[in-house]
Amino acid sequence: MKKVSSVEEYIEENSHFGEALSLLRDLINTTELEETLKWNAPVYTLNGKNVVGLGAFKNHFGIWFFNGVFLKD
């Protein structure tokens, strides 16, 4: 995958999951998290700390929580 310069470009490059990635992005952007690009993928931070990331691959896409082990069920 080529280096992207924006989340919009990332979604465009992964258009096979574009609808799902856009939906997740819109939902995350209703929070106080700040949208950034790290490791060539969307990452959302709070007070400079990574909170959640999005990723698209050949056959699946994912959302992950940094330090998710500390989240309450």
Domain assignment present for 1: no
- Which pLDDT does position 70 carry in this prediction? 73
Task: Please say whether the beta carbons of 27 and 64 come within 8 A.
Answer: no
Q: What CATH number does the domain containing 62 carry?
A: 3.90.1150
pLDDT at residue 72 greater than cutoff 80: no
Tens digit of pLDDT for each residue in 23-42? 999 999 999 999 999 999 99
Q: Is residue 61 part of a domain?
A: yes
68 vs 57: CA distance, rounded Å: 21
Residue 8's pLDDT is 96
Q: Which domain holds residue 33?
A: 7-67
pLDDT at 16 over 70: yes
pLDDT band at 1 (very low <50, low <70, confident <90, very high): low
What is the number of domains present in the chain?
1
Q: Is residue 73, in this structure, part of any structural domain at all? A: no
Give 14: exposed, middle or buried? Use CB within 10 Å, 0-12, 13-18, 19+.
buried
Global model pTM greater than 0.75:
yes
